[in-house]
A = this chain, B = another copy of it.
Amino acid sequence: MPVLISPSLDEARKELVVGLEARKLVVMVASCSVEYSGRTGSHLGEGERLVIVKGDGCILVHRGHDYQPVNWQPSGCIIQAHANDGTLVLKAVRPSPLESLTLVVKEIQFLGSFVLQDAAEFILHASEEEMQRAIILQPDMIEPGFKILDFEKKVPPGFVDVYGVDRDGNIVVIEIKKDPAGFPVIKQLLEYLKYLQAPPGRKLRPMIVAPSIAKGSQSTLAKSGIEFKQLTLQKAVEILQKYARSDQQALKSWL
C-alpha cells in the first residue's frame, strides 16, 4: 500500500503507472483541470479534487461537495498517465462510443494505491411490494402511455398485482416476481385471466414483470401469449429513492 504525501509529479506518475498496471485502486488528491470530450464536451478549470481510478478502468473526479462526481468514465477505459510540459496528464479513453476524459494535474497532495479484499455479496432487502410500488409511481417504466387502473385487484383465485390500460385501451394484467419467472407464475397469471375481460374491441395483455425468465421457461412463456418486462429489485429501489427524494424536494418548496 504505497502512500505518497506531496510527491513530485514525476514520483506520482511512476507510482500511478505501477498502480494502473497492477489494476489497483488509485486514490489521489490533486490540483487539476478536467476536459471531457465525447458526444458533447465539458471543461472544469483548475482546482483541488479527489480522483479515483479503479482496476476495472473507471475513473471518478469528485469535488469537495455533492455525492455525484463532477466528471467520470465507466469501467472499460484505457487509462494512461504521462508527463507533459511540467504537468502530469491522466487520460481515460473509451473506444466506443469514443469518449475521453483528460486531467491535467499540476500538484498532488496525496496519492495512494490500494488492493481491496472484498468478496461480500450485496443483499437488497426489497420485495415484490417495492417492485409494485415502483410501477405505481412510474407507470411509464412498463411502457409509454401505460396507466394504472387498480392494484391488488381481487379475482377469485387471488389478487392481480397491477391492473392497467395501455395507450390503445387494452387491459394490461401484471404479475410481479422478484425471482426469475417460471412455470408457477405463468400458470397463476393464466388462472387470473379466466376471470378478467377486456372492453369490446380491446384485448387483455397478460404481462410478467420480473428480473429474468427462469431457465427452461422461455418457450412456455412464448407459447402462453404472456409478455415479459424486465425489472430488477435494484432498479425498483432506485425508482423509489428517486421519488422519495423528489417528494422531499416538493415538500421543501412549500415550507
Contacts and interface: CB of A to CB of B under 8 A. Distances in A.
Given A29-B112, A125-B41, A144-B145, A64 B118 contact: yes
Contacts of A63: 116, 118
A203 interface: no
B42 A120 contact: no
Contacts of A247: 97
A116 to B, nearest CB: 4
Nearest to A146: B144
A66 B118 CA distance: 13
A31 B120 CA distance: 11
A56 B46 contact: no
Contact of A64 (B5, B55, B241): B55
Interface stretch (A68-76, A152-160, A184-192, A215-223): A68-76
Interface in A118-143: 118-126, 130, 139-140
Quickly give the copy total for this chain: 2
A74 B5 contact: no
B50 A118 contact: no
A232 to B, nearest CB: 13
Contacts of A39: 130, 237, 240-241, 244
A62 interface: yes
A40 B122 CA distance: 14
Interface string A171-195: 0000000000000000000000000
Interface of A: 1, 3, 5, 25, 27, 29, 31, 33, 38-50, 52, 54-56, 58-60, 62-67, 69-70, 72-75, 96-97, 99, 109-110, 112, 114-126, 130, 139-140, 144-145, 167, 237, 240-241, 244-245, 247-248
List the 10 closest pairs (A to B, CB-CB), nearest first. Answer: A47-B118, A45-B120, A41-B125, A58-B67, A64-B116, A48-B116, A145-B145, A56-B65, A47-B120, A97-B244
